[in-house]
Homo-oligomer: A and B are copies of this chain.
Amino acid sequence: MLSNAAQYAIRSILYLALYSNATQRVRAKKISQDLEVPQPFLAKLLQRLGGADLVSSSKGPTGGFYLNKANRNKTVWDIIVTVDGTEKFNQCFLGLHTCSDTNPCPVHFSVSPFKQAIKKDFKGKTIAQFAEEIKKRGTVLSLKDFDALHE
């Protein structure tokens, strides 16, 4: 449903929402280590996300990635669209591009409501709101317990 790249992107941006701001920037290397994601691949990906105004960055010593106000008002759906495009996510479960409510495939009505729900969730909440929820609920972005490192 999502490419590795899109998964990495979502996790990285939620990570930055939690642990960065304009003065506390995080290097690509640190993000890749904390999230256990291949470093050069992530670097490339962050570049793309920068181009799409989903993350901000600055060069040089003390440089790194962070989220500014605008970045925090984007949605998870924006990330998916930027990295994977919409087609992959919207596609019929059996790959039929004519599948719809009026011309359904055999599993359409099992699959469709959930996709709609997930999509609505991803479109309706900003990254900032998502990050708030993560803090409240204590959900997890990585295998490692890296919270300790940030306290």
Contacts and interface: CB of A to CB of B under 8 A. Distances in A.
Interface residues of A, number: 39
Given A118-B110, A130-B106, A133-B106, A11 B94 contact: yes
B110 A134 contact: no
A149 interface: no
A90 interface: no
B110 A140 contact: no
Contacts of A11: 94-96
A49 interface: no
B97 A143 contact: yes
A10 interface: yes
A139 interface: yes
A96 B10 contact: no
A7 B110 contact: no
A148 interface: no
A111 B14 CA distance: 17
22 contacts: A1-B93, A4-B95, A10-B94, A11-B96, A14-B106, A96-B141, A96-B143, A98-B140, A98-B143, A104-B137, A104-B140, A105-B140, A106-B134, A106-B137, A106-B141, A107-B118, A110-B117, A110-B118, A110-B121, A111-B118, A114-B114, A114-B117
